[in-house]
């Protein structure tokens, strides 16, 4: 794993020019104080309409990028960094015949500049032995005292070394923290460390590969003891139609897997381990309807392929309408009324669990808001977390997963009316014509029975405000076929309400 230099200059180290061992005095010329800076080390180079509740349109709504990590070459190393500015002053002067550090290309203010000539006492100049001075008797006495002092100093130094060595052999003088206190304070029930320790063994890193060798990495979690793993549809999409799928647990155990069922519209998929172990521990499922803004969240995943990564945050919004796709021309959008979290979620977190403070799953991490103009789940130029992650509420995902395990295909709720997918703040408008030339209001469908007509603008579904077609679809899909809902709509400037029973559509086609 490579890291990028953040541009910080290497701090100069205090130094003074060396003095020749055989010299009784220092070289001639000005000698800087011991805290004068030396030359810093140069920085290291771095290398059109759709039936509401039916198959969605890929151009719908906002397009947050899903955090699944594609297999791609490693990040391109940036070009070599320009050398950092050197501290001011001219110490130390350069060796004879060598231009001073900083000459040549400009290094900016404060770089080594000024003189490049050698003079007496400069760095690198030859040492000149000073002429001896006549000694007096007093000088001889001083020399004798110095010799005695050096002998005593040598004895003292040797004794000190011996005592220090014996002290090292007898034990350390450092103080260690109490292991019991650390366990009680940091890993007590309900703490992040405790939740992570219990939840990580039930998460897997998923690798999907197509027949052509393309693929990506995502995350999933143990759904039941039979070996079913829940994840995102876009995580396993590459392995469909004969591709390869594997799931790796944090302890290193790796299993081949197969897709049991996938729901593109919900962005939910279920895979099953081949020859699953007998000690699987499914994660407990929470109640996403009871989640409140401000509740703590814990996300587990493999951001950028870094398996078993734990991040934390809060629920920053609920019922956030999200339409997501991978940005490709053939991609169809997924819709959700999402839990929004500021826990760090990046490509590779897709399909991983979003947990509450007790460790219960409240959502499946599915998409991120991206400032990347290309958008999408993968490809080059992937964006990182900006604190806007979106998770499919577990109440919805649980229903979808159970349908996939039971029937192998998803079942969607619908009202049987085609609505515009254009961005709007006024509501979801029923179009004049349906997809592929079909009727905008399905004959005998829920909307038809409730009296809805082309041109009507739906503004509420129960108490949820509807501001666009994608929002309506996402909200319908939080319900099950057969649920009764109240529709508020406008016709000719007048507001009306109607009750209807949601219909159903099986499969993604």
Question: Among positive and negative, which fits the CA dihedral 357, 298, 318, 217?
Answer: negative
The pLDDT score that the predictor gives to residue 394 is: 97
- 8 A C-beta contact, residue 93 and residue 99: no
Average pLDDT of the segment spanning 185-191: 75
Residues 6+ apart with CB under 8 A from 317: 293, 339, 340
**494-501 and 228-231 as β-strands: parallel, antiparallel, unpaired?**
unpaired
Using pLDDT thresholds of 50, 70 and 90, give the confidence band for residue 436: confident
Rounded mean pLDDT of the chain?
Answer: 74
The pLDDT score that the predictor gives to residue 52 is: 60
User: Among 208-212, 323-327, 377-381, which stretch is predicted with the lowest mean pLDDT?
Assistant: 377-381
Inform me whether the pLDDT recorded for 103 exceeds 70.
no
Owner of token pair 């001896």 = 132
Residues 6+ apart with CB under 8 A from 480: 399, 413, 502
Give, for 150, the enclosing helix (H) or strand (E). helix 137-170
What is the CB neighbour count within 10 angstroms for residue 466?
A: 27
Average pLDDT of the segment spanning 149-175: 52
**228-231 and 215-222 as β-strands: parallel, antiparallel, unpaired?**
antiparallel
Q: What is the pTM for the complete model shown?
A: 0.66
User: Among 29-38, 392-401, 445-454, which stretch is predicted with the lowest mean pLDDT?
Assistant: 29-38
Q: Which of 197, 203, 193 is nearest to 353 (CA)?
A: 203
From residue 497, how far is each of 125, 379, 442, 459, 479 by CA, in Å?
96, 45, 19, 10, 19
Return d(Cα 416, Cα 418) in angstroms, integer.
7
Return d(Cα 103, Cα 88) in angstroms, integer.
13
Average pLDDT of the segment spanning 383-409: 92
Dihedral Cα 410, 344, 63, 440, nearest 10 deg: 40
295 has catalytic annotation: no
Question: Among positive and negative, which fits the CA dihedral 354, 356, 357, 360?
Answer: negative
Return d(Cα 239, Cα 262) in angstroms, integer.
11
Give alpha helix (H) positions in 86-135. Answer: none
Return d(Cα 132, Cα 351) in angstroms, integer.
84
Indicate the burial class of 413 (C-beta count within 10 angstroms; 0-12, 13-18, 19 or more).
buried
Give, for 164, the enclosing helix (H) or strand (E). helix 137-170
What is the CB neighbour count within 10 angstroms for residue 252?
A: 6
The pLDDT score that the predictor gives to residue 372 is: 59
Give pLDDT tens digits for 320-354. 999 887 656 566 789 999 999 999 999 999 999 99
User: What six digits make up the tokens of 381?
Assistant: 């130029």
Give pLDDT tens digits for 445-484. 999 999 999 999 999 999 999 999 999 999 999 999 999 9
- 8 A C-beta contact, residue 308 and residue 48: no
Give, for 419, the enclosing helix (H) or strand (E). strand 418-419
More confident residue, 445 or 144: 445
Average pLDDT of the segment spanning 94-101: 42
* SS3 call for 380: coil
Return d(Cα 110, Cα 84) in angstroms, integer.
10
Return d(Cα 354, Cα 363) in angstroms, integer.
5
Considering 17-26, 28-37, 149-158, 191-200, the range whose residues carry the highest mean pLDDT is: 191-200
% of the chain exceeding 70 in pLDDT: 61
267 has catalytic annotation: yes
Inform me whether the pLDDT recorded for 242 exceeds 60.
yes
234 has catalytic annotation: yes
In 122-185, at which residue ranges do the beta strands (DSSP E only) sit?
A: none
From residue 464, how far is each of 200, 342, 396, 424, 447 by CA, in Å?
35, 23, 16, 16, 18
- 8 A C-beta contact, residue 66 and residue 94: no
User: What six digits make up the tokens of 175?
Assistant: 């103080």
- 8 A C-beta contact, residue 478 and residue 396: yes
Inform me whether the pLDDT recorded for 51 exceeds 70.
no
What is the CB neighbour count within 10 angstroms for residue 112?
A: 23
Q: Which of 476, 474, 339, 480 is nearest to 399 (CA)?
A: 480
Using pLDDT thresholds of 50, 70 and 90, give the confidence band for residue 266: very high
User: Among 1-10, 418-427, 433-442, which stretch is predicted with the lowest mean pLDDT?
Assistant: 1-10
Residues in the chain: 509
In 252-345, at which residue ranges do the beta strands (DSSP E only) sit?
A: 254-263, 268-273, 296-301, 309-324, 334-341
Give, for 182, the enclosing helix (H) or strand (E). helix 179-186
- The active-site residue out of 57, 199, 228, 234 is 234
What is the CB neighbour count within 10 angstroms for residue 450?
A: 21
Indicate the burial class of 414 (C-beta count within 10 angstroms; 0-12, 13-18, 19 or more).
buried
Question: Among positive and negative, which fits the CA dihedral 232, 238, 243, 246?
Answer: negative
Inform me whether the pLDDT recorded for 38 exceeds 50.
no
- The active-site residue out of 199, 228, 262, 267 is 267
């Amino acid at each position: 794993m490579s890291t990028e230099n953040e541009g910080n200059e290497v701090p100069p180290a205090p130094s003074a020019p060396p003095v020749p061992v055989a010299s009784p005095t220092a070289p001639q010329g000005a000698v800087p104080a011991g805290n004068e800076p030396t030359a810093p080390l140069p920085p290291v180079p771095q290398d059109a309409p759709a039936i509401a509740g039916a198959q969605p349109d890929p151009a719908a709504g906002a397009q947050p990028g899903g955090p699944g990590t594609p297999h791609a070459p490693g990040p391109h190393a940036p070009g070599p960094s320009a050398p950092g500015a050197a501290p001011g002053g001219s110490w130390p002067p350069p060796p004879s015949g060598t231009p001073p550090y900083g000459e040549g290309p400009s290094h900016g203010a404060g770089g080594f500049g000024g003189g490049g000539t050698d003079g007496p006492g400069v760095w690198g100049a030859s040492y000149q032995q000073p002429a001896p001075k006549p000694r007096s008797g007093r000088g001889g006495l001083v020399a004798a005292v110095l010799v005695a002092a050096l002998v005593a100093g040598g004895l003292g130094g040797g004794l000190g070394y011996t005592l220090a060595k014996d002290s090292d052999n007898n034990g350390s003088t450092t103080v260690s923290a109490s292991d019991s206190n650390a366990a009680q304070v940091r890993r007590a029930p309900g703490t992040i460390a405790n939740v992570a320790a219990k939840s990580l063994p039930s998460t897997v890193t998923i690798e999907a590969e197509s027949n052509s060798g393309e693929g990506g990495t995502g995350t999933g979690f143990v759904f039941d003891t039979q070996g079913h793993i829940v994840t995102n549809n876009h995580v396993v999409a590459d392995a469909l139609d004969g591709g390869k799928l594997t799931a790796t647990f944090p302890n290193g155990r790796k299993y081949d897997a197969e897709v049991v069922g996938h729901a593109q519209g919900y962005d939910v998929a279920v895979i099953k381990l081949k020859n699953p172990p007998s000690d699987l521990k499914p994660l407990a499922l929470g109640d996403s309807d009871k989640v409140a803004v401000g509740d703590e969240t814990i996300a587990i995943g493999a951001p950028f392929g870094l398996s078993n990564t734990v991040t934390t945050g809060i629920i920053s919004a609920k019922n956030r309408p999200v339409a997501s796709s991978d940005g490709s021309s053939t991609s169809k959008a997924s819709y959700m009324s999402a839990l929004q979290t500021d826990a760090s979620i990046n490509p590779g977190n897709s399909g991983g669990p979003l947990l509450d403070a007790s460790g219960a799953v409240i959502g499946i991490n599915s998409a991120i808001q991206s400032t990347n103009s290309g958008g999408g789940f993968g490809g080059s130029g992937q964006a990182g977390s900006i604190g806007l992650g979106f998770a499919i509420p577990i109440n919805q995902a649980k229903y979808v997963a159970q349908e996939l395990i039971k029937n192998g295909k998803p079942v969607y709720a619908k009202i049987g009316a085609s609505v515009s997918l254009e961005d709007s703040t006024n509501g979801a408008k029923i179009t004049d014509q349906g997809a592929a030339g079909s009727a905008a209001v399905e004959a005998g469908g829920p909307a038809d029975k409730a009296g809805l007509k082309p041109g009507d603008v739906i503004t509420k579904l129960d108490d949820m405000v509807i501001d666009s077609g994608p929002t309506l679809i996402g909200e319908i899909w939080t319900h099950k076929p057969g649920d009764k809902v109240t529709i508020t709509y406008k016709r000719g400037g007048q507001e009306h309400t109607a009750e209807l029973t949601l219909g159903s559509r099986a499969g993604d086609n």
